[in-house]
């Protein structure tokens, strides 16, 4: 390999597909409860949808770290 040349990794396409799959599963899961959530008062619905709109991001940090480094956790110092 020449100096400065970057070797392609399979982790980035695999991670991208995993992110898309995570989003798809999360959308289907939240949509399956939409009737029950829709029966609640509007401010409760707002709070639930705000929380659900943020919670799906939590598994992304280790997944993105894995895509970049190949490790799920930060190295111990």
Residue 67: pLDDT band (50, 70, 90) is confident
The pLDDT value given to residue 6: 63
Q: Is residue 37 a part of any domain in this protein? A: yes
Q: Is residue 3 a part of any domain in this protein? A: no
For residues 8 and 27, give the distance between their C-alpha atoms in angstroms, rounded to a whole number.
Answer: 31
Domain span at residue 41 reads 26-69
CA atoms within 13 A on the CB side of 19: 16
Residue 77: pLDDT band (50, 70, 90) is low
Q: Is residue 14 a part of any domain in this protein? A: no
φ/ψ of 57, rounded to 5, equals -75, -25
The pLDDT value given to residue 28: 96
For residues 19 and 57, give the distance between their C-alpha atoms in angstroms, rounded to a whole number.
Answer: 10
- Number of compact structural domains in the chain: 1
């Amino acid at each position: 390999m020449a100096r400065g040349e970057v070797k392609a990794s399979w982790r980035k396409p695999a991670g991208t597909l995993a992110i898309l799959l995570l989003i798809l599963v999360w959308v289907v899961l939240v949509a399956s409860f939409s009737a029950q959530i829709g029966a609640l008062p509007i401010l409760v619905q707002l709070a639930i949808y705000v929380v659900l709109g943020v919670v799906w991001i939590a598994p992304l940090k280790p997944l993105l770290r894995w895509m970049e480094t190949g490790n799920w956790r930060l190295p111990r110092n």
